[in-house]
């Protein structure tokens, strides 16, 4: 989770960089020679005030990173590396049940995300079977053991649009699955979805863009933004306030529920994906006081 600095008198743009934006100037002072790792944001979209139009007394600036080391994305693992046994071969159709950490998330006491087996179908299917279940604009999730899930938007005819290794691209679902099983996750986030044609417009309109031109840090944030259109899925796309907090409940079998607090949706997504990829849960309990 990143602490959001405030631009005070001693953080005004320096004379050496008088042609820079305040955001970049502050980033230089904070990160020094790490500047090349900072996300290239479209600053016309970076909020510097209250979206209601009521300006605050101070300017709030977010410093974000692009593609941290924790992000897995799709790689070339063999089916045996994906956590599937010989009884759950990728060639089989499914449905299959996989061992996963379960979560729910809230903002201002409203549930915005749910991945709980007791409330929904978490079964997964082979990529071939998944194709028979998809409609244009659907949100897809590919899962494997010890990896953060890979998300994509289904277009048609086996084609999906996704963020992979710093580029928005179109690929064959069968090819990128690499033996992983998947599922449709249209209802994972509880936001109101856009119509399918607008979802596809969002996805297709960004094809070919690379890291210098985009402001999503992982495949999930990009695909979810396409479907729901909420700027909170973008890095630096959210106005931070003391009143708004995100609560992530990590449901651990045998050890209760751990609750973590974040200042942005993007921070929460990044931490949840880190847990999915690493399986490290004990660190989480130290973030905000342990289990309930």
Instruction: Give the whole-angstrom CA distance, residue 169 versus residue 76.
Output: 17
Task: Look at residue 154 and tell me whether its pLDDT is greater than 80.
Answer: yes
Q: List the one residue out of 3, 1, 64 whose CA is nearest residue 35.
A: 64
Residues recorded for the chain: 292
pLDDT on residue 79:
42
pLDDT digits (tens, 9 = 90+) for 21-37: 444 443 344 344 333 33
Task: Look at residue 9 and tell me whether its pLDDT is greater than 60.
Answer: no
Per the prediction, the chain carries an average pLDDT of: 74
Q: Is residue 286 assigned to a domain?
A: no
Contact 37/66 with Cβ under 8 angstroms? yes
Distance set, CA 63 to CA 35, 127, 289 (Å) = 10, 37, 26
Q: Is residue 80 assigned to a domain?
A: no
Q: Is residue 188 assigned to a domain?
A: yes
Helices (H) and strands (E) in the chain, counts: 6, 9
pLDDT digits (tens, 9 = 90+) for 81-131: 444 433 445 556 668 888 889 999 999 889 999 999 988 889 999 999 999
Place of tokens 């003391």: 242
Task: Look at residue 68 and tell me whether its pLDDT is greater than 60.
Answer: no
pTM of the model: 0.70
Q: How does residue 212 score in pLDDT terms, banded at 50, 70 and 90? A: confident
Most confident of 22-31, 42-51, 68-77, 220-229: 220-229
Here the tokens at position 269 are 């997504």
Would you state the torsion angle of the CA atoms of residues 289, 188, 85, 154, taken in this order, to the nearest 10 degrees? -140
pLDDT on residue 281:
58
Candidate from 74-83, 176-185, 243-252, 259-268 with smallest mean pLDDT:
74-83
Q: Is residue 25 assigned to a domain?
A: no
- Cis before 95? omega within 30: yes
Instruction: Give the whole-angstrom CA distance, residue 201 versus residue 223.
Output: 12
The CATH code of the domain that includes 209 is: 3.90.1720.10
Q: Supply the range of the domain harboring residue 270.
A: 96-278
pLDDT on residue 279:
72
Burial (0-12, 13-18, 19+ Cβ within 10 Å), 159: middle
Q: Is residue 135 assigned to a domain?
A: yes
Q: Is residue 149 assigned to a domain?
A: yes
Task: Look at residue 235 and tell me whether its pLDDT is greater than 80.
Answer: yes
| 58-87 burial code (b ≥16 CB/10 A, e <16) | eebbbbbebbeebbbbbeebebeebbbeee
More confident residue, 133 or 15: 133
Task: Look at residue 285 and tell me whether its pLDDT is greater than 70.
Answer: no
pLDDT on residue 92:
65
- Residue 282 DSSP one-character state: T
pLDDT on residue 95:
87
Candidate from 11-20, 29-38, 268-277 with smallest mean pLDDT:
29-38
Here the tokens at position 100 are 């996963």
Q: List the one residue out of 105, 111, 120, 101 whose CA is nearest residue 249.
A: 105
Q: Is residue 257 assigned to a domain?
A: yes
Which residues have CB under 8 Å from 32's CB, separation 6+?
Answer: none
More confident residue, 43 or 179: 179
Contact 168/208 with Cβ under 8 angstroms? yes
285 DSSP β-pair partners: none
Candidate from 53-62, 149-158, 176-185, 232-241 with smallest mean pLDDT:
53-62
Task: Look at residue 201 and tell me whether its pLDDT is greater than 90.
Answer: yes
Candidate from 24-28, 149-153, 215-219, 250-254 with smallest mean pLDDT:
24-28
Rg value, the chain, Cα: 20
More confident residue, 38 or 278: 278
Q: Is residue 31 assigned to a domain?
A: no
Most confident of 64-68, 213-217, 239-243, 279-283: 213-217
Structural domain count, the chain: 1
């Amino acid at each position: 989770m990143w602490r959001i600095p405030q631009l005070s008198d001693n953080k005004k743009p320096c004379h050496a960089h008088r042609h820079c934006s305040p955001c970049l100037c502050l980033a230089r002072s904070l990160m020094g020679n790490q500047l090349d790792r900072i996300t290239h944001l479209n600053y016309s979209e970076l909020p510097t005030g209250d979206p209601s139009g009521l300006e605050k007394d101070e300017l709030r600036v977010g410093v974000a990173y692009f593609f941290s080391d924790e992000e897995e994305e799709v790689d070339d693992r063999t089916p045996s590396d994906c956590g599937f046994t010989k009884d759950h071969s990728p060639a089989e159709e499914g449905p299959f049940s996989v061992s996963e950490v379960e979560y729910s998330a809230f903002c201002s006491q409203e549930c915005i995300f749910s991945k709980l087996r007791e409330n929904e179908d978490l079964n997964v299917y082979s990529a071939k079977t998944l194709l028979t279940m998809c409609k244009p604009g659907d949100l897809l999730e590919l899962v494997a053991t010890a990896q953060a899930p890979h998300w994509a938007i289904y277009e048609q005819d086996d084609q999906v649009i996704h963020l992979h290794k710093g580029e928005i691209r179109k690929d064959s679902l069968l090819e990128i699955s690499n033996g992983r099983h998947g599922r449709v996750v249209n209802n994972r986030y509880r936001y109101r979805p856009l119509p399918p044609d607008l979802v596809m417009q969002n996805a297709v309109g960004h094809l070919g863009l690379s890291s210098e031109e985009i402001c999503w840090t992982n495949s999930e944030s990009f695909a979810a933004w396409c479907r729901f259109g909420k700027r909170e899925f973008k890095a630096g796309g959210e106005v931070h306030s003391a009143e708004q907090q995100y609560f992530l409940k990590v449901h651990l079998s045998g050890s209760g529920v751990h609750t973590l607090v974040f200042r942005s949706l993007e921070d929460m997504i990044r931490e949840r994906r880190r847990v999915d990829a690493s399986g490290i849960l004990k660190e989480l309990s130290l973030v905000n006081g342990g289990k309930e």
